[in-house]
Amino acid sequence: MTSGASDGPLVEVQGLGKSFAARSGLLARLLRRGGTIRALDGVNLSIRRGETLGLIGESGCGKSTLARVLLRLQEPSAGTIRFDGEDITAADRNRLRQLRRRMQIVFQDPYAALNPRQTVEQIVGLPLRIAQRLGREAARPHVAAMIERVGLKRTHLNRFPHQFSGGQRQRIGIARALVARPDFVICDEAVSALDVSIQAQILGLLQELRRDLGLTYLFISHNLAVVGHVSDRIAVMYLGEVVELAPARAVLAAPRHPYTQSLLAAVPRLAARDAAIRPKLAGEPPSPIAPPPGCRFHPRCAKAVDSCRTTRPTLRDISLDHAVACHLADNP
């Protein structure tokens, strides 16, 4: 559980930015020069204690960059990150090592994320041994208990990752993330690489663990159906910024940003009754090297008016617990 340093959100980011130099790659070649990729540009977000905040958006919108910057696996270019009331934006290496026990991540590809030369006991035990400076013998009972907690067996401890199925490997990844008893876990496309039936099992396990261990999740996925199923609230990202943030039921039943509406219209079983009148998402997202002026969604937005092309909308409350970055959000 959290240390309870404050009653505020567990995680809070303000004006978070992350830029990369683009000196190679297709975009840079097309532009015949380098440039700056603004992967995150002024992200404002808070994650409440004990909730699952879903984060949705097209590939390349900045979801995974946000995950890495939140954990300080990548350095932010601008803005602040607060964790349990503490500003960790510039925390030094020692402080980060302490914080990493409390902030963990489950990756998309469990096979790539697990060292093939290590046994399950070594893989799962490492974060615990680092966090609590335990020897292998002392860590073993905790590792064995966590392995059983995620639905594997003690006899699996001496096996290697290639001896498991994809679903079992993801259970190992979850055990590794939870063994040191974190407060905050980022699930970055954690079920995207799995078969649908296995996805359901892993989602069920994650929900059970959240409830039993008092965890807070940031659940990142490109799959709106999956995010809608597990989330208390949903944040929608487009080209490096959050454009809608609201309870999951509000996002699914009455989305207010045209981008969210288009995402939903593309998922028939989630689409609201009036989805037929909502335009499906057309075209590709613009380049993050040269984002459009004004609202970044305006080249793809069927509702765009003149001010959309010049003035960037900010994320603002349009009703209790529902924030939208759109000039026309008050007139859906």
Smallest distance, Å, CB 138 to ligand SF4? 55
How far apart are the C-alpha atoms of 283 and 311, rounded to whole Å? 22
Question: Which positions from 298 to 317 touch ligand SF4 by CB under 6 A, shown as an x/- string?
Answer: x--x-xx---x----x----
Smallest distance, Å, CB 296 to ligand SF4? 8
Stretch that binds ligand SF4, among 20-28, 84-92, 192-200, 320-328 (CB under 6 A): 320-328
Bridge partners, 162 (sequence order) = none
The verdict on 328 binding ligand SF4 (CB under 6 A) reads yes
State which residue, 175 or 251, has the beta carbon closest to ligand SF4.
251
In the sheet with 322-324, reading across from the earlier edge strand, the strands are 103-106, 184-188, 216-221, 52-56, 233-238, 241-247, 322-324, 316-319
Number of residues that bind ligand SF4 (CB under 6 A): 13
Smallest distance, Å, CB 274 to ligand SF4? 17
State which residue, 275 or 304, has the beta carbon closest to ligand SF4.
304
Per DSSP, 110 falls in state H
The verdict on 326 binding ligand SF4 (CB under 6 A) reads yes
Stretch that binds ligand SF4, among 34-42, 70-78, 83-91, 295-303 (CB under 6 A): 295-303
What φ, ψ does residue 132 adopt, rounded to 5°?
A: -110, 10
Q: In 241-293, at which residue ranges do the beta strands (DSSP E only) sit?
A: 241-247
State which residue, 228 or 258, has the beta carbon closest to ligand SF4.
258
- Is 327 within 8 Å of 303 (Cβ atoms)? no
Positive or negative CA dihedral for 187, 209, 104, 77? Answer: positive
Stretch that binds ligand SF4, among 11-19, 50-58, 269-277, 323-331 (CB under 6 A): 323-331
Stretch that binds ligand SF4, among 36-44, 71-79, 87-95, 297-305 (CB under 6 A): 297-305
Instruction: Name residues contacting ligand SF4, limited to 227-286 (CB under 6 A).
Output: 257-258
How far apart are the C-alpha atoms of 255 and 321, rounded to whole Å? 13
Smallest distance, Å, CB 255 to ligand SF4? 11
Positive or negative CA dihedral for 258, 260, 264, 266? Answer: positive
- How does DSSP assign 167-205, residue by residue? HHHHHHHHHHHHTT--SEEEEESTTTTS-HHHHHHHHHH
Strands 11-22 and 78-83, by their bridges, are antiparallel
Candidate residues 295, 315, 322, 323; the one interacting with ligand SF4 per rule CB under 6 A: 295
Positive or negative CA dihedral for 299, 301, 306, 310? Answer: negative
The verdict on 172 binding ligand SF4 (CB under 6 A) reads no
Smallest distance, Å, CB 128 to ligand SF4? 46
State which residue, 49 or 298, has the beta carbon closest to ligand SF4.
298
Smallest distance, Å, CB 124 to ligand SF4? 45
State which residue, 176 or 298, has the beta carbon closest to ligand SF4.
298
DSSP H stretches of helix in the chain: 26-30, 63-70, 93-100, 110-113, 120-132, 136-149, 166-178, 196-213, 224-230, 248-253, 258-265
Candidate residues 297, 315, 322, 323; the one interacting with ligand SF4 per rule CB under 6 A: 297
Question: Which positions from 110 to 149 touch ligand SF4 by CB under 6 A, shown as an x/- string?
Answer: ----------------------------------------
Helices first, then strands: H and E counts in the chain: 11, 12
How far apart are the C-alpha atoms of 301 and 278, rounded to whole Å? 11
How far apart are the C-alpha atoms of 38 and 292, rounded to whole Å? 12
Which residues in this chain contact ligand SF4 in the complex, by CB under 6 A? 257-258, 295, 297-298, 301, 303-304, 308, 313, 326-328
